[in-house]
Amino acid sequence: MILSKVADPKVIFVSTIVGGVFGWLVPAAGLVLKPLGELYIAALSISIVPLMMTALVSGVGRMLRQPSLRKSFPRFAIVYLLTLLVPATIAIVTGLLLEPGANLSSDAVARLGQQLAATTTTHTAAGLSDFLIAIIPSNIFQDLSAENFAAIVIFSLLLGIGLGVAEAPATDQTLSVMHSLYVAFSRIFEWIMKGLAIGLFCLMAGVAATVDVTMFESLISFIGAFYAAGITLFVIYAFLLLYFGRVGGLRSLAEVRQPLTVSFLANNPFIAVRPAIDTLVNRFHVQDDEADAVLPFGIIASQHGQIINFILLTMFLANVYGIQLSAGQLATLAIGGTIGGVAVVGEGPALAPALTPILGSVGVPPDLGAVVLTTTEQIVGPMVSLLTVFSALTLVLLGRGAPSRQQSLKPTEAHTEAKP
Amino acid sequence: MRLTIGLVALGLWSVCAAGPASTQPYLPGLDDLIQRGELKVGMFTYDASPMVTTGKNGEATGYDAEIAATIAKALGVKLTIVRTEDTAQGVIDQVARGDVDIGVSYLTRTVDRAREVLFTRPYLTQDLMLLVNRVHAAQHGGKCPTAEEFVAELRDVPVGVAKGSAYAARLVAIDPQADLTPFDTFPEMMDALRAGTIVHSFQGDLVARHYLADNPSMRVFAMLCDIPEWKENIAIAVNGNEQALVPFLDVLLDQIHITTEGDTVSLTTEPWAY
């Protein structure tokens, strides 16, 4: 009873806010709590990689073995490509309207300069070939240990497709084993999720104790523009959800509350994989194999928040340097930001190699990009995570086939079994 | 990065606390100066922090002023700092004319100048630096130019230099058609670099780092690029008629060290040696 209470999204939200206030008021205690929060996030990560892997393999494999579901693949591909146009467009329009970085105060520029001086690493641009090499799972065991999510997803997709089309006698049993493992990992994940409220309280207390508010002030125009664009995208998703959710009006929004809250508060979209799949299957009556196959892919390859982040950050820096971007450069930025941001892996300064070629494509100096990424990670990251999960949910709902009446009324056995 | 100026002042006054020994005879040449009772030191009028700066009351400050005070103290004479020339070359000419005895003003020891004045041994050896406009750099490969690339672009890329400096003379010697813009002060040059009027500014390591440390916003707009192949020696210029001063100053400078490590500049002495 108590455990179910602390897993409630409202309790999670309140505990996170209280943790933030506590860390801000008592920084010393916040610093003590921070490692506990990080420990909790590490514990949550125990089953994330195997969960994603088994969900993808069993989902894709089982989809391909059912002729009716196999037809869904082209539809998902079209929806995926079309939805990529949305975040880039919103980011460009927001950047042109709000002009983040223009008229930055001299104090704000000086603070950025100090931060730049403290940044000693040189960020080398990662080209397309580097990106492709990084995501090809040439050694899956190495990729698993390094949590190279993009490579893991590609490997799992290929393994799922292989099992889906294989004619070997034990293929169905193998997929069943994969599905059983998926259910088992889901259970582990749910046990750990029971402590989410406490874990996020500790994490947020630590974040509030260490956060540099003065640097946020320097970047307020960028952060404001990012959130304006992010909220616009959120509203568009919400409308799509109302229309395609098929559960009736505003209830659709209430149904996605838990995965979105979890991803935002934990600043981690992968943590929301399981809650999001459950929501799709149990609340929106999506066929479980479709949800298992498409949602993890969407979490990796549909990072619409990161696209907005990269494009607006580039426009912010262009304004700081007084660079007027032409229409051609804006188009280049939209394409580059989409390709660079949609499937990037990492956070904060780890994103710099992906950002550098985007900045370079429109002639914006790259070094300050890493500084802004690092500084704003704690405040931009949660919205990026939320938008990633929301875009993945929307992708599944827009691309799904029409559910049968029986499927829409009764969740599948695996997901019923896995429910807490 | 925060700048820390480590001033180990132990020596500067204690070095010469006892003054010259009055019972000993002086070398010919030094004797005249001692008898006159005054050491005239030339310094340029603009600030090149941390070497040459101006105090609140208009007095000369900075490491060069402290070195000049140390010399006067060691000779046991009154120090008079003359700040009438607005360029380093102007100070060299001033020393050559005999308007002042020596020039202690962040002066680069060059062959051309050695035709006009005597030089002591260097009291500072530093790399030459480029500050590069970041936007230009981003649009041209994003890397610091090598010495060869910098020279090859001298006619095409506008470079800022301190007016009447050894840097300007050196670049003109390399390429008489170099696109150089002389500036009266370092802040004016930095404003031009930030605005993109010039693409490079060419100066010594010490002043460039010191300016960036004091003005962190400039780091956003300018990239610091070392040219390790190019070094310069900073020394004291001595009037040709004051030959006896040179070995004396060399011995004194043996005990005075200006060192740079990152953005930290230190002036230290070895008081035990006296």
pLDDT at position B127 over 70: yes
pLDDT at position B12 over 50: no
pLDDT value for A129? 64
Domain containing residue B64: CATH number: 3.40.190.10
- The mean-pLDDT minimum among A234-243, A344-353, B6-15, B245-254 falls in B6-15
Q: Which residues of A touch B137 (CB under 8 A)?
A: 365
Mean pLDDT (whole number) for A28-55:
83
Q: Where does B28-183 have alpha helices with state H?
A: 30-36, 63-75, 88-97, 111-114, 134-138, 147-152, 166-174
- Substitution target from B1, B136, B219 for chain A, most A beta carbons within 10 A: B219
**pLDDT band at B18, cuts 50/70/90?**
very low
Tally of CB atoms within 10 A around A249: 9
Closest of B189, B173, B50 to residue B106, by C-alpha: B50
Half-sphere exposure at residue A185, Cβ-oriented, CA atoms within 13 angstroms: 22
Closest of A196, A313, A330 to residue A263, by C-alpha: A196
Pick A7 or B222 by higher pLDDT.
B222
Domain containing residue A260: CATH number: 1.10.3860.10
- Do B161 and B73 fall into the same domain? no
d(CA B240, CA A356): 57
Mean pLDDT (whole number) for A86-111:
93
Q: Is A201 part of a structural domain of the chain?
A: no
Check if B217 contacts A (Cβ < 8 Å).
yes
Determine, for residues B217 and A110 on separate chains, whether the beta-carbon distance falls below 8 Å.
Answer: yes
Closest of A163, A174, A152, A136 to residue A51, by C-alpha: A152
pLDDT value for A252? 79
- From the CA of A111, how many Å to the nearest CA of chain B? 7
Q: Is A40 part of a structural domain of the chain?
A: no
pLDDT value for B208? 92
The pLDDT > 90 percentage for chain B reads 70
pLDDT at position B21 over 90: no
- Do B132 and B220 fall into the same domain? yes
Determine, for residues B220 and A368 on separate chains, whether the beta-carbon distance falls below 8 Å.
Answer: yes
- CA distances in angstroms from A347 to A259, A303, A350, B88, B207, listed in the order given: 20, 12, 5, 50, 37
Please name the residue of chain B whose CA is at the shortest distance from the CA of residue A369: B220
What is the residue type of A375?
A: T
d(CA A266, CA A12): 10
- Do B223 and B236 fall into the same domain? no
Q: Where does A84-219 have alpha helices with state H?
A: 85-98, 106-118, 128-135, 140-145, 149-165, 171-193, 196-210, 213-218
Lookup result for tokens 């997901």 = A415
- Do B141 and B193 fall into the same domain? yes
pLDDT digits (tens, 9 = 90+) for B249-261: 999 998 888 877 7
Q: Is A357 part of a structural domain of the chain?
A: yes
- From the CA of A382, how many Å to the nearest CA of chain B? 27
Q: Which residues of A touch B218 (CB under 8 A)?
A: 113
SS3 B132: strand
**pLDDT band at A4, cuts 50/70/90?**
low
- The mean-pLDDT minimum among A246-255, B88-97, B131-140 falls in A246-255
**pLDDT band at A417, cuts 50/70/90?**
very low
pLDDT at position A404 over 70: no
pLDDT at position B3 over 50: no
Check if B134 contacts A (Cβ < 8 Å).
yes
Mean pLDDT (whole number) for B125-137:
93
Number of domains making up chain B: 2
- Do B77 and B95 fall into the same domain? yes
Q: Is A126 part of a structural domain of the chain?
A: yes
CB pairs under 8 A between A and B: 52
Please name the residue of chain A whose CA is at the shortest distance from the CA of residue B139: A363
- Do B212 and B88 fall into the same domain? no
Residue A257 dihedral angles phi and psi, to the nearest 5° = -60, -45
Determine, for residues B217 and A113 on separate chains, whether the beta-carbon distance falls below 8 Å.
Answer: yes
User: What mean pLDDT value characterizes chain A?
Assistant: 82
Q: Is A153 part of a structural domain of the chain?
A: yes
Check if B230 contacts A (Cβ < 8 Å).
no
Determine, for residues A117 and B134 on separate chains, whether the beta-carbon distance falls below 8 Å.
Answer: no
- Do B247 and B190 fall into the same domain? no
Both tokens assigned to A325 = 């971007």
Number of domains making up chain A: 1
Residue among A114, A320, A323 minimizing CB distance to B216: A114
Domain ranges, residue A241: 68-167+211-418
- Do B96 and B151 fall into the same domain? no
Domain ranges, residue B204: 126-231
pLDDT at position B93 over 90: yes
